[in-house]
Homo-oligomer: A and B are copies of this chain.
Amino acid sequence: MYSVNTRDHFMIAHSFRGDVFGPAQRMHGATFVVDVEYRRLALDDDGVVVDIGRAGDVLRQVLAELNYRNLDEVPEFAGRNTTTEFLAREIFERIVRRLSAGELGPGAAGVASMRVVLHESHVAWAAYESPLR
């Protein structure tokens, strides 16, 4: 199995609901450093997993939708806790949609699975990974 990873970051405000979150129920924020790993069994004809340039562009575009936002005011997240693990999946799904739409190029059809990691500090991160259909 081959993998390629590209990294970028975004910065948001949000708050959580639920006693389990303690002081994080207050409005606060986070920098998320995001790693997106693409996996496939064999390389394409160019010898790559995905076009790393396009992968970087797609990641930048997906993060721009969230960057410098108060997630409490984003309609599609209404009633949800935008935890690090929740956001890892959200970004996973948004990248998959763009991959399926061909934005990563035709070669990306061979991607078998993906993993998205969100680093929220030097001591904590969360991730979501899944095979692609």
Taking CB atoms and an 8 Å cut-off, the chain A residues in 1-35 that contact chain B are 1-9, 11-14, 16, 18, 20-24, 26-33
Complex Cα gap A124–B8 (Å)? 10
Taking CB atoms and an 8 Å cut-off, the chain A residues in 62-99 that contact chain B are 67-70, 73, 80-86, 88-89
Chain B hits for A120, CB < 8 A: 11, 31
Complex Cα gap A68–B13 (Å)? 10
How many residues on A have C-beta within 8 angstroms of the other chain's C-beta atoms? 66
Chain A facing B: main interface SS: mixed
**0/1 string, A48-72, CB within 8 A of B gives 1:** 1101110010000000000111100
Q: Looking at the assembled complex, report how far the CB atom of A33 sits from the nearest CB atom of chain B, in whole angstroms.
A: 5
CB contact between A28 and one of B13, B47, B86 (< 8 Å): that residue: B13
* Inter-subunit contact B46/A124 (CB<8 Å): no
Complex Cα gap A105–B29 (Å)? 25
23 CB-based A-B contacts, threshold 8 Å: A1-B129, A1-B130, A3-B85, A3-B117, A4-B85, A5-B125, A7-B122, A7-B124, A11-B28, A12-B29, A13-B27, A14-B29, A20-B53, A20-B107, A27-B69, A27-B70, A33-B122, A43-B85, A47-B81, A48-B83, A49-B85, A49-B126, A122-B122
